[in-house]
């Protein structure tokens, strides 16, 4: 069951427990969806493309398995 997370700090806490993190960019809308798969749930976080690079640097410290999807 998917869960939407609106807070960056909360998503980073969830990403610590994640098996895999995925990043999908949407150039038309100017957003990126970041998803963290845990054993039980799939968590989704939406962020603007202008803030994505800073967020990915934080995510690399937390989630070891990050995949970027085209």
Q: What confidence score (pLDDT) does residue 64 get?
A: 87
Distance CA 10, CA 30 (A): 22
Q: What confidence score (pLDDT) does residue 49 get?
A: 95
Q: What confidence score (pLDDT) does residue 2 get?
A: 85
pLDDT per residue as tens digits for the range 12-66: 999 999 999 999 999 999 999 999 999 999 999 999 999 999 999 999 999 989 9
Helices and strands, counts by H and E, the chain: 2, 5
**What CATH topology corresponds to 2-69?**
3.30.720
47: phi then psi, degrees, rounded to nearest 5 = -140, 150
3-class DSSP assignment, residue 7: coil
């Amino acid at each position: 069951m998917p869960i939407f997370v609106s807070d960056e700090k909360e998503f980073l806490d969830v990403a610590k427990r994640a098996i895999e993190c995925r990043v999908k960019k949407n150039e038309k809308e100017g957003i990126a969806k970041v998803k963290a798969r845990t054993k039980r749930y799939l968590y989704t976080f939406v962020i603007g493309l202008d803030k994505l690079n800073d967020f990915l640097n934080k995510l690399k410290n937390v989630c070891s398995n990050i995949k970027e999807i085209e």
